[in-house]
Amino acid sequence: MKTKETVLLLLEEGLQEKWRPLLEDSSFRFLFYRQPHQAAARILEAPPNLIVLQERLAPELVYELTKALKTNLNLSFLPIILILPPKNVTKDWKDWPADDFLKEDASGEEALSRIKLAFARAQRSADNNPLTGLPGNTTILKAIQEKINAEERAAIAYVDLDHFKPFNDRYGFARGDEILRMVARVLTNVILSRYGSKGFVGHVGGDDFVFICPLEEIEATCQEIIKDYEALLPNFIDPQDLEKGYFEGEDREGNPRRFPFPSLSIAVVSLTPGRFKHYGEVSAAAAQIKKIVKARSGNVYFVDWG
């Protein structure tokens, strides 16, 4: 049997009374909250599958929470429906990353129908990587092509992990996945805090990531990413290996070998007006730079200034 989707609703008493009978009829698991802080804590600790928030109850918190979920945690697939006062439904939706809204005077039937629609819509945008929640290849290529077309001076950075395969063999996939999620969080938070919605982070798959940022700040950005990665990595290595500074594994021929811990390599292609016409050219340039980066050990970046 399929597990029920959890829907969390933050609603005032009256609206709960009105909607509850219809909502409880369906195949979802509904969690009703009246206290904004309790609802927010529950959402952050164990996110449900869909969130309905009545803005009036805590305007600032509802806004902060929506932003945090959608932009910081890459829960863009987590639908958020706002409940607004009937006379005040105009918002700057560019700044409000909600998926839909309902009026406070909506019926329970309408609410249920909107919730189902939101789930259906979330199913359709399935480009996101299931492990990290980051946008996948289709979105990445689109983002690169948009930068080319806009003739912006941008840096397209290809990030991957060296020695990740032997690490996975030695520590198991679960730990490897933790490292990939960690890298995704570091990239997201560095890019978001520096550039907001002007930056971009995507997950090609496996240990391959892409980020985009303004060309002028690429070196400082790479340095910050590497610094954060270095600070976090020890949490994912067993103490005895950490003590030694390496782990033991087997190379491709099955011979025992000492491996350094997974390290970041960042190959950067600079996008200057007129240099490329098509995203395919960018990937080709990246492949060349990757060879240079891979020849160096440790956490490294290299910028091809064009």
The one-letter code for the residue type at 190 is: V
Rounded to 10°, the helix 137-150/279-294 angle is 110
**Best CA proximity match to 63, nearest among 85, 79, 40:** 40
**Which residues, numbered 146-185, are part of the site for another protein (CB under 8 A)?**
177-178, 181-182, 185
Candidates 12, 17, 25, 44; binder of another protein (CB under 8 A) is 44
Verify binding: residue 203, another protein, rule CB under 8 A: no
Compare residues 38 and 107 and give the one whose CB is closer to another protein: 38
Tokens for 181?
A: 């999620």
Nearer to another protein, 75 or 204 (CB): 75
CA 159 to the chain's CA centroid: 15
Task: Determine the Cα–Cα distance for residues 187 and 202; give it in Å rounded to an integer.
Answer: 9
Could you list the beta-strand ranges (E) of the chain: 6-10, 29-33, 50-54, 80-84, 100-103, 154-162, 200-205, 208-214, 247-250, 256-259, 263-271, 300-304
From candidates 24, 25, 59, 72, binder to another protein by CB under 8 A: 72
Q: Contact between 122 and another protein (CB under 8 A)?
A: no
Q: Does 46 bind another protein (CB under 8 A)?
A: yes
Among 22, 68, 122, 303, binds another protein (CB under 8 A): 68
Task: Compare residues 9 and 186 and give the one whose CB is closer to another protein.
Answer: 186
DSSP 109-165: HHHHHHHHHHHHHHHH---S-TTT----HHHHHHHHHHHHHHT--EEEEEEEEETHH
Judged by CB under 8 A, the residue of 22, 112, 192, 303 near another protein is 192
Binding segment (CB under 8 A) for another protein, from list 85-93, 161-169, 228-236, 262-270: 228-236
Q: Work out whether 64 is an interface residue with another protein (CB under 8 A).
A: yes
Of the candidate spans 68-76, 145-153, 266-274, 296-304, the one that interacts with another protein by CB under 8 A turns out to be 68-76
Kindly indicate which of the ranges 15-23, 199-207, 225-233, 294-302 contains the residues binding another protein, using the contact rule CB under 8 A.
225-233
Triad 148, 71, 115: Cα angle to 5°: 115
Q: Which of 174, 164, 178 is nearest to 265 (CA)?
A: 164
- Please tell me whether residue 98 binds another protein under the rule CB under 8 A: no
> To which residue do tokens 């890019």 refer?
191
Q: Is 220 in the site for another protein (CB under 8 A)?
A: no
How many angstroms from the chain centroid is the CA of residue 45? 17
Question: Applying CB under 8 A, does 61 fall inside the site for another protein?
Answer: yes
Which residue ranges make up the site for another protein (CB under 8 A)? Answer: 37-38, 40-41, 44-47, 60-61, 64-65, 67-68, 71-73, 177-178, 181-182, 185-186, 188-189, 192-193, 228, 231-232, 234-236, 239, 242-243
